Amino acid sequence: MPATDSPTLPGWRRVTTPGLALAACVVPPADAARPTVVLLHGFPELAYSWRHQVRALADAGYGVVAPDLRGYGDTGPQGPLEAYRMQSLARDVVGLLDALGIARAVVVGHDFGGALAWALARDHAARVQGVVSLNTPYTRRTEVDLVQTMLQARGPAHYMVAFQPPGAGEALLGRDVEATFRGLMRRPALTLAQFAQLPARVQALPATMFTGEPAVMGSPLLDKDALRVFTQAFARTGFEGALNWYRNLHRNWLDTASTPDHVGVPALMVSAADDFFLPPTTTRGMERIVPDLERHTIADCGHWTQQEQPDAVNALLLDWLARRMPAC
């Protein structure tokens, strides 16, 4: 199969599940006593976003599975809009585990992949040994869905609101795909305290943050090879599948109406000190609904945590796995 979006990931293959065929990096554990770690990327990313963690985990003897999730990369857009609701995306991952013969795994997610990791730990706890989230908190269900929450708090320009109409986000992000990734995947130029002094329009996190806001743009994060990987992948697939994750936020809210707000498996929450999208303050109070929780914050780090500070992420992840997921 083509591997244009994951040229540096080992074990790249297509895994057929009952719901769809997922393209994934699959590395069996070198040490049979160690668990498999499933790496779930965010928006707008790829399995390739975990390139630094795949090798570190594999070198430490862990099994690794890093898929291009539904709508992304070599997996590509599959199914109608409703197929991108969180309960369906969670079934995609469970189906992947089934197809690979993995009874239980540690799930690690970043950004929207973090939300998916929490959903798996909550709704499919029998399949999850532990959960790690980079940047994305686990929160209680609110009185209105997240789109309405952001509309009320940040206004109609906020990216979650602006991405709702079909075609709007696609036009913005797809106008110049390379420019989108050059502008978006950067280290932050400001600390969160400095960000709080910017005009309200910027603090509202408008959709233009995804094509580069001059006020917050720091140094580029991607080298030319990594930029080419992201650009080629999204030039091929477009952004509709990825944006469909946002367009199911209301359905996700409806689906969880009777779901207990509780995650019982061991959990690690890793925040980034200067993430404008998901600041560390959003994790306050998590212990009430995630009782077995360990927290860390990575200094001098923006939103693209595992790509921006890979050594710090790898050290935290490997230490937590060694302590909380001991070889059996």
Instruction: Identify whether 296 is a catalytic site residue.
Output: no
Tokens at residue 103, please? 């009874």
How buried is residue 214: exposed, middle or buried, by Cβ count under 10 Å (0-12/13-18/19+)? Answer: exposed
- Specify the DSSP class assigned to residue 309: S
Computed from CA positions of residues 68, 72, 76, 78, in that sequence, does the dihedral angle turn out positive or negative? positive
Neighbouring C-beta atoms of residue 40, cutoff 10 Å: 29
Kind plus residue range of the DSSP H or E element containing 80: none
Return the residue matching tokens 């806001």: 213
Instruction: Identify whether 111 is a catalytic site residue.
Output: yes
Neighbouring C-beta atoms of residue 103, cutoff 10 Å: 10
Amino acid at 7: P
Instruction: Identify whether 303 is a catalytic site residue.
Output: yes
Query: Given 41, 110, 158, 303, which residue is catalytic?
Result: 303
Cα gap 267→326, rounded to integer Å:
14
- Specify the DSSP class assigned to residue 140: P
Paired strand residues for 65: 26, 38
Quick one: angle between helices 177-184 and 224-237, nearest 10? 130
Query: Given 84, 246, 274, 275, which residue is catalytic?
Result: 246
Query: Given 111, 123, 145, 275, which residue is catalytic?
Result: 111
Residues with active-site annotation: 111, 246, 303
